[in-house]
C-alpha cells in the first residue's frame, strides 16, 4: 500500500487519480507471490483484467453462449449481439469511420500477417520495397520478411540512434519510388519510444505508400484516433489493454479492405459456395473465417466499457508520473544503464545492470514478489543495436504505484549486491 492510502481523510482532489480505488477493480492485484504483495510490472507483455471484464466473460459463459451469425434461436442472437456490440465499441474507441473497418483477429500478430498476406502479397513485385524500422517487434518484422521472400520484394529498415529514437528525416529519405508499404510501431515494446507516427504516416501517404501502425503498446496508454492519424491499417491486441488473450483487431480503411482478397477460407466469410465458385461475404466478415473468439470479443468490449468509465486522463497522467519516478528511482543504482532514453517515451523502462544477467535479475525480483520481463522482448534487432542479449523491462499500467517502483529499485539493488559483487 502506498503512503497515500494510509493517510486518513484527505480533502478530495478531483484532478488526482485514485490508484488504490482503481486497484480494487483488479482482483489479481490482491494476491501474494513468495510471501510478498504482488507488484505486477509486466503490463507490456500482458495486462491484468478488471472485474468488469471477468464478469462479462463469466456472464457470457453462464447465460449466453452459442455460435454467432448462424442461429435464429435466442442464445445465438444474444451471442451475436454481444460479439457485434464489441465491434461497435472497438470502432468507436479507435474512431474508425465505420464498424465494417474493424476485423477481429487473435491479436496484433495475426492482424499484421493478414495485411502482409492479403494486402501486400498480391501487390508486391520483385524489386518493390517494404519499409519498417529498427524498433519493431518481431510481429512487425517477420510477416514482412515472409511476404518479401514470396514476392521478391526487399525489406528496408530505418535506423535508430543511441537514445532509441527514430529520425523522421532519415525514414522519409528511405521512402522511395519502389516503397509500397510502410509499417511501424506506434510505441516500441522494447524501449518505450513513442514514434513520430503522425508525421511518418502523412509522409508515406503523400507518396502513395500504404501504412500500417502496430499499436499494441499504444492503445493501452492513450486514445488512438485512426482517422486523425490517417493510417491505412492499425493493429492491436486485447490482452495488453485489460481484455482476455486471443482477441485483438485490425482497423483497415474501407477502401483498402474492399480491394483485398480474403486471407483464410471457411465458414462465415462466404456468401455462397459451390464447387465451381465461391462468393465472399461483405466486410468485415470476409476476413473472419470460422467461428471467431466470441468470448474474447465480449471481454474486449467490456474492457473498452471499463476504460470509458474511468478517468482516463488522470490514469494516463498517473502512468507518466510512474515512468518519471521509475527513471529517478533506478538512475542512482551503480552499474545500471537505461536502454532507451527517448524524449517521448511511454509506459516502460528497459535496463541492464553490470555483472547481473537480466535473467538472474528477474529471478531475484520474483522472489520479492515483483513481476518484470527479462529477455529480448521479441525485438532482437533492438538488442543487437545496443550490443546486449537482453534487458530487464518494467512496464506500467495505471494500477501500479510509486511504492511498487520503490520496491523494484530496492530489489534491483539487492540483485546487484548478490550477483554484481562490488561493481560500481
Ligand X SMILES: *Cc1c(COP(=O)(O)O)cnc(C)c1O
Among 80-88, 132-140, 145-153, 296-304, the segment contacting ligand X (CB under 6 A): 132-140
- Is residue 64 a contact point for ligand X (CB under 6 A)? no
Torsion of CA 328, 187, 338, 169, to 10 degrees: -110
245 neighbors 239 (Cβ within 8 angstroms): yes
Which of 366, 413, 303 has its CA nearest to residue 41? 366
Among 104-112, 252-260, 330-338, 392-400, the segment contacting ligand X (CB under 6 A): 104-112
Contact string (CB under 6 A) for ligand X, positions 201-220, x = contact: -------------x-xx---
- Is residue 237 a contact point for ligand X (CB under 6 A)? yes
- Is residue 132 a contact point for ligand X (CB under 6 A)? no
Q: Which of 50, 107, 299, 369 binds ligand X (CB under 6 A)?
A: 107
The pairing of strands 373-375 and 370-371 is unpaired
Contact string (CB under 6 A) for ligand X, positions 167-186, x = contact: ------------------x-
Please, which residue, 108 or 400, has the CB nearer to ligand X?
Answer: 108
Indicate the SS3 state at residue 179: strand
DSSP single-letter state for residue 326: H
Catalytic choice (148, 184, 231, 378): 378
Q: Which of 94, 139, 194, 370 binds ligand X (CB under 6 A)?
A: 139
231 flagged as catalytic: no
DSSP single-letter state for residue 193: B
Please, which residue, 65 or 376, has the CB nearer to ligand X?
Answer: 376
**Residue 369 half-sphere exposure toward CB, CA atoms < 13 A:** 17
Residues in region 354-393 near ligand X by CB under 6 A: none
184 neighbors 115 (Cβ within 8 angstroms): no
250 neighbors 219 (Cβ within 8 angstroms): no
- Is residue 116 a contact point for ligand X (CB under 6 A)? no
Separation CA 334–CA 323 (nearest Å) = 19
Among 5-13, 101-109, 154-162, 414-422, the segment contacting ligand X (CB under 6 A): 101-109
346 neighbors 188 (Cβ within 8 angstroms): no
Which of 24, 28, 49 has its CA nearest to residue 39? 28
Cell numbers found for residue 30: 490482491
Contact string (CB under 6 A) for ligand X, positions 239-268, x = contact: ---------x--------------------
Catalytic residue numbers read 378
* Residues in contact with ligand X by the rule CB under 6 A: 107-109, 137, 139-140, 185, 189, 214, 216-217, 237, 248
Amino acid at each position: 500500500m502506498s503512503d497515500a492510502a494510509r493517510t486518513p481523510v484527505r480533502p478530495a482532489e478531483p484532478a488526482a487519480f485514485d490508484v488504490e480505488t482503481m486497484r480494487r477493480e483488479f482482483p489479481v492485484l490482491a494476491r501474494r507471490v513468495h510471501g510478498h504483495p504482488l507488484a505486477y510490472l509486466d503490463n507490456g507483455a500482458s495486462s491484468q483484467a478488471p472485474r468488469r471484464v471477468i464478469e462479462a466473460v463469466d456472464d457470457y459463459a453462464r447465460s449466453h453462449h452459442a455460435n454467432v451469425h448462424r442461429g435464429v434461436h435466442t442464445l445465438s442472437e444474444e451471442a451475436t449481439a454481444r460479439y457485434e456490440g464489441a465491434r461497435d465499441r472497438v470502432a468507436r474507441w479507435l474512431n474508425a469511420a465505420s464498424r465494417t473497418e474493424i476485423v477481429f483477429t487473435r491479436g496484433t500478430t495475426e492482424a499484421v500477417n493478414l495485411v502482409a498476406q492479403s494486402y501486400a502479397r498480391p501487390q508486391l513485385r520483385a524489386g518493390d520495397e517494404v519499409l519498417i524500422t529498427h524498433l519493431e517487434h518481431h510481429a512487425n518484422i517477420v510477416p514482412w520478411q515472409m511476404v518479401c521472400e514470396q514476392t521478391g520484394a526487399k525489406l528496408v529498415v530505418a535506423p535508430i540512434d543511441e537514445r532509441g529514437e527514430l529520425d523522421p528525416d532519415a525514414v522519409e529519405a528511405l521512402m522511395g519510388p519502389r516503397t509500397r508499404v510502410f509499417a511501424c510501431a506506434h510505441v516500441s515494446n522494447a524501449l518505450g519510444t513513442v514514434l513520430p507516427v503522425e508525421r511518418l504516416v502523412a509522409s508515406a501517404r503523400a507518396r502513395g505508400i500504404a501504412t500500417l501502425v502496430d499499436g499494441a503498446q499504444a492503445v493501452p496508454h492513450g486514445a488512438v484516433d485512426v482517422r486523425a492519424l490517417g493510417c491505412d491499417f492499425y493493429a492491436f491486441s486485447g490482452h495488453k489493454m485489460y481484455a482476455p488473450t486471443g482477441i485483438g483487431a485490425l482497423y483497415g480503411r474501407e477502401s483498402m479492405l474492399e480491394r483485398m482478397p480474403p486471407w483464410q477460407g471457411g465458414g462465415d466469410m462466404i456468401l455462397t459456395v459451390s464447387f465451381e465458385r465461391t462468393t465472399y461475404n461483405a466486410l468485415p466478415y470476409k476476413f473472419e473465417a470460422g467461428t471467431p473468439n466470441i468470448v474474447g470479443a465480449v471481454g474486449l468490449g467490456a474492457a473498452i466499457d471499463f476504460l470509458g468509465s474511468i478517468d482516463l486522463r488522470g490514469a494516463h497522467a498517473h502512468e507518466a508520473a510512474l515512468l518519471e519516478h521509475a527513471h529517478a528511482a533506478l538512475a542512482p543504482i551503480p552499474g545500471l544503464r537505461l536502454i532507451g532514453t527517448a524524449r517521448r517515451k511511454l509506459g516502460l523502462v528497459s535496463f541492464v545492470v553490470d555483472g547481473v544477467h537480466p535473467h538472474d535479475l528477474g529471478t531475484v525480483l520474483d522472489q520479492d514478489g515483483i513481476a518484470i520481463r527479462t529477455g529480448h522482448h521479441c525485438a532482437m534487432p533492438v538488442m543487437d543495436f545496443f550490443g546486449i542479449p537482453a534487458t530487464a523491462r518494467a512496464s506500467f499500467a495505471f494500477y501500479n504505484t510509486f511504492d511498487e517502483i520503490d520496491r523494484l529499485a530496492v530489489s534491483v539493488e539487492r540483485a546487484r549486491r548478490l550477483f554484481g559483487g562490488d561493481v560500481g
